[in-house]
Amino acid sequence: MSSIVPGTNVPPISFPGIASGIDYNSIIQKLTSLTLVQNVALNQQIATLNAANTELVTINAMLASVQSALTGLSQPGLFNTYDALSSNTNVATAQGIAGVAATPGTYVIDSTQLATSSQTTNNPAAGHSMLDTQNGGPSWQTTVLDQSYAAIAATNGTSGGTGKVTINGVTVSYDATTQTLQQILSDIQTQVQAATGDTTFTIGFVAGTDTVQISDTNNPITLGSAGDQGNLLQVLKLDQAQIKNGGGSNTVTGTSGVGGISLTSSFNAANSAGFVTPVTAGTFTINGVQIAVNSGDNLADVLSRINASGAGVTASYNGALNSIVLTNASAGPQSIVLGASSDTSNFLTAAGLKSGTVVYGKQAQVVFQDASGTTQTVYSNGNQVTTAIPGVQLNLVANTSTPFTVTVSQNTSQLVTALNTFVSAYNATINEIDQATAAPVVTPMQTGSLPGQGGAQSFAGGVLYGNADVESIKGQLENIVAGIVNSGNATGYNSLSRIGLTLDNSFTVLTTANNGSPSSGGSSSTSSNPVQTTTYAGTSGQLAPLNLTQLQQALASNPAAVQNLLNGADGVVTQLGTYLTGVTGLPTSLASGLAGTIPPVSLMQGFENANTADIQSLQQQVAAITDNANQQANTLRQEFVSTETAIAGYQALQSQLSSFFNTGGTSGGTL
DSSP per-residue letters across 333-354 = S----B--TT--S-HHHHTTST
Closest CA to 31 of 643, 631, 642, 641: 631
pLDDT value, residue 13 = 58
- Report the C-alpha gap between 184 and 192 in whole angstroms: 12
pLDDT of residue 667 exceeding 70, the answer is no
Confidence of residue 338 (pLDDT cuts 50, 70, 90): very high
Q: Do 104 and 192 belong to one domain?
A: no
Q: Is residue 456 part of a domain?
A: no
pLDDT of residue 224 exceeding 70, the answer is yes
**Boundary residue ending a domain (212, 235, 253):** 253
pLDDT value, residue 102 = 87
Please, what is the average pLDDT of the chain?
88
Q: What is the mean pLDDT of residues 166-195?
A: 97
pLDDT value, residue 1 = 41
Spatial neighbors of 239 by CB under 8 A, at least 6 apart, are 223, 224, 233, 320
Q: Is residue 380 part of a domain?
A: yes
Q: Which residue has the higher pLDDT, 207 or 417?
A: 417
Q: Is residue 399 part of a domain?
A: yes
Are 367 and 109 spatial neighbours (Cβ–Cβ below 8 Å)?
yes
pLDDT of residue 489 exceeding 80, the answer is no
Q: Which residue has the higher pLDDT, 38 or 196?
A: 196
Spatial neighbors of 135 by CB under 8 A, at least 6 apart, are 142, 143
**Boundary residue ending a domain (207, 230, 253):** 253
pLDDT of residue 565 exceeding 70, the answer is yes
DSSP 3-state assignment of 261? Answer: coil
Phi-psi region of 200 (alpha: psi -120 to 50; beta: other; left: phi over 0): alpha
- CA distance readout (Å), 473 to 73, 341, 361, 423, 476: 21, 75, 65, 17, 5
For 349-364, what is each residue's pLDDT tens digit?
A: 999 999 999 999 999 9
DSSP 3-state assignment of 95? Answer: strand
pLDDT value, residue 210 = 94
Q: Is residue 392 part of a domain?
A: yes
Q: Do 107 and 180 belong to one domain?
A: no
Q: Do 237 and 181 belong to one domain?
A: yes
Of 179-183, 194-198, 513-517, the least confident: 513-517
Q: What is the mean pLDDT of residues 595-606?
A: 93
CA angle, 639 as apex, 635 and 640 as ends, to 5°?
Answer: 115
Q: Do 88 and 172 belong to one domain?
A: no
Confidence of residue 518 (pLDDT cuts 50, 70, 90): very low
Are 107 and 389 spatial neighbours (Cβ–Cβ below 8 Å)?
yes
pLDDT of residue 668 exceeding 70, the answer is no
Q: What is the mean pLDDT of residues 627-644?
A: 83
Q: What is the mean pLDDT of residues 526-555?
A: 83
DSSP 3-state assignment of 210? Answer: coil
Q: Is residue 30 part of a domain?
A: no
Half-sphere exposure of residue 448: CA atoms within 13 angstroms, side-chain side: 0
Confidence of residue 457 (pLDDT cuts 50, 70, 90): low
DSSP 3-state assignment of 652? Answer: helix
Q: Do 247 and 165 belong to one domain?
A: yes
DSSP 3-state assignment of 609? Answer: helix
Q: What is the mean pLDDT of residues 405-433?
A: 94
| Number of structural domains the chain divides into | 3
Q: Is residue 189 part of a domain?
A: yes
pLDDT of residue 4 exceeding 90, the answer is no
- Report the C-alpha gap between 9 and 625 in whole angstroms: 17
Q: What is the mean pLDDT of residues 61-70?
A: 96
pLDDT value, residue 650 = 81
Share of the chain above pLDDT 70, in %: 89
Q: What is the mean pLDDT of residues 419-447?
A: 86
The neighbour count for residue 464, using CB atoms within 10 Å, is 23
Give the strand order in the sheet containing 364-369: 82-86, 404-410, 105-113, 364-369, 375-380
pLDDT value, residue 128 = 95
Q: Is residue 671 part of a domain?
A: no
pLDDT value, residue 16 = 66
**Boundary residue ending a domain (192, 220, 253):** 253
Q: What is the mean pLDDT of residues 543-572?
A: 91
pLDDT value, residue 35 = 82
- Domain holding 244, by residue range, is 152-253
Closest CA to 263 of 329, 315, 327, 328: 315
pLDDT value, residue 520 = 43
Beta-bridge partners for 171 = 166
pLDDT of residue 529 exceeding 90, the answer is no
Closest CA to 314 of 117, 29, 132, 74: 117
Q: What is the mean pLDDT of residues 132-158?
A: 94
Share of the chain above pLDDT 90, in %: 65
pLDDT value, residue 517 = 46
CA angle, 311 as apex, 309 and 317 as ends, to 5°?
Answer: 80
Q: Is residue 319 part of a domain?
A: no
